[in-house]
Structure 1
Amino acid sequence: MTKKPNILLVYTGGTIGMVKDYKTNALKAFDFSQIVEKIPELQQLNCNINSISFKDPIDSSNMNTQYYGDIVDIINENYLKFDGFVVLTGSDTMSYTSSAISFMLENLQKPIIFTGSQLPIGDLRTDAKENLITSIEVASAYKNDNPVISEVCLYFEYKLYRANRTIKISSEQFEAFTSLNFPPLAESGVHLKFNEHLIYKSNKEDDKLIVRKSLVDEVVVLKLFPGISNLVVESILNIPNLKGVVLETFGAGNAPNSKDFISLLKNAIDKGIKIVNVTQCKSGNVIMGHYDTSLLLREIGVINGKDITTESAIAKLMYLLNKNLSEDEFKKFFEKSLRGELTDKYHF
């Protein structure tokens, strides 16, 4: 790329945007318009940096579908003006948020890198500077006049991941995220090395960005455990206006095969509620029918989540439920990779 890439920082809230007032020891919001003055190392990057902050930055625990829409609006409004985006959010819900954004933006041709930190940007031992600097470097990376990354990613502690493959694994370690079912897209050491063969590319290079803001949030996660009562399951499945369920099962997608339990699920499916089978295991995938305890789930129409994460399954449910799809179409699209969020085919 002959000209310097223009990168937009989007600050929604979170630890990375806090600095300590050393007189009071209290944390206060960082002014991102002064980012280059506060972090002079950014001047060494081959890009121009601008920033937009939420008027009222939020704690990531308060993140919801309305804020997803606000993030998407900012990106959409600035899509033609900038070559890449770095979105700063709190790490607690970053996997949920970044997964949702990956579905909401169709035909994406530019990098959107989510990052944050475990310690505020002004702390002596902060991880914020490295995460921010490298995220901007990733968003600025070009090869043959094309961005190296053209998907939604999450960067944390020397690893760049596909966002909709990530889970948060630690509230204390700097290595807060991982992607156990898909390798990192890049690793940062002495050199920034991209695993280019893994990077997702849109097939429709000439098409404009399509924004899908409407999400259905009438969904729930139902995590099974030994001894879960049918009364609890029935109560959850009878939530008014419930549209979708992420059913967290055991191992390779197994669940109780008692007549009453299966009947509750079948009744819900017959009412039009979409139920997706996702394993509770941090890695591996659902294999419907591999054991007798998942055979009945397949027979009654439970959807195979394969190796999708719970965070991504929730986002994909919210996205697809607004599409007015038939039962067969919904199953087909959920079990198919739309943004690289699951592995289409396995060999056993």
Structure 2
Amino acid sequence: MGITKLSDLIRNEAPSAISYKEISDYTGKAVAVDASIVLQQFRTAIPRLHNRNGVNLSPLTGLFFRTLSFLEHDIKPVFIFDGRPPEQKKRVLEKRAQAAGWSGSYCSSSVSTQNQDCKSLLQHLGVPYVQAPGDAEAYCAQLVKDGKVDAVASEDMDTMAFGSDLLIRQLNAKKNSEVMEYSLPKVLAALQLTYREFVDLCILLGCDYCQKIQGLGPKKALKLIQKHKTIEAVVLHINRETHPVPQEWRYREARELFFQVPHGSPPALVWKEPDEQELVKFLCREKHVKEERVRRRMENFRQTLRERRREREETSKAEKSKQTCIKDFFRVTRKREAAAVLEVRGKRAKPE
């Protein structure tokens, strides 16, 4: 779910904080990707592709194609997998599982198996992944704050509440798709909020960790935080009849989760060349994906890399030729330098 209607609020109240870009604008950038969001997209958006054993291959094949597209654009992705969710989030996760028609045990075992397969795939692709100790969004944001990556790619807005300066949405590697980039510093400046006040605003809007005050819309929540600064002060200045405060409202615990630093040291992120033989062995021999499909995509991948390498070399040569200075053709002697100095001094000495 993320933060309820936060994207709408930013679009209406802080439009300057949103930039519309193309995927090529992120060439050379390291991006933390919320793996659960990506895999869920493939589970729901792509028609289910089952192998001979009845296993749904949509998340695995979707991840294969999208990751190669990132690498073709010289984007360095690192996929972050969810760890153990905090107690405050279990209620939300149970609702999502019920909506998907899964029992708790089936959902856990199925997702766990798929995640393990996806980690194996990423290893063969030469792309790093991290198993977060808790929420992937929190770990993604921490990687940005630690300078390990440049931005977070996710459809959920949580990473902004966790403190990520840049959030990228719709980074789906499709041609002609418009990528949306959200800047947290620009959001804070436009809304005239501190980061702590922004977190309280996100809790009022509605997050995964606690209930929200019913009937409190985004615009009113923003005005209340701008005026009163904290949830504690806001509660003292609202009509409890029209905006009832939840009993045993655990907003303080939610606030602490947003400020909490994930456990563990940031990993060393290393990207390597894809291993085609291991990819074929894993995808085709073990998971029964059609080998022709995998081989064809890898050939296109190599061809694209060759073309991009040639383009970079040509661009580099063109830039070097432009940087050639006149001094490279005409040597400036000491006599010429001295003459030039005398000429300047003579001009300065002339009366007006």
Same fold (TM over 0.5): no
- Return the structure number with greater helix share: 2
* TM-score (norm. length: structure 1): 0.30
Higher relative contact order (CA 8 A, sep 6+): 2
Q: Who wins on radius of gyration, i.e. which is larger?
A: 2
* TM-score (norm. length: structure 2): 0.30
- Return the structure number with greater strand share: 1
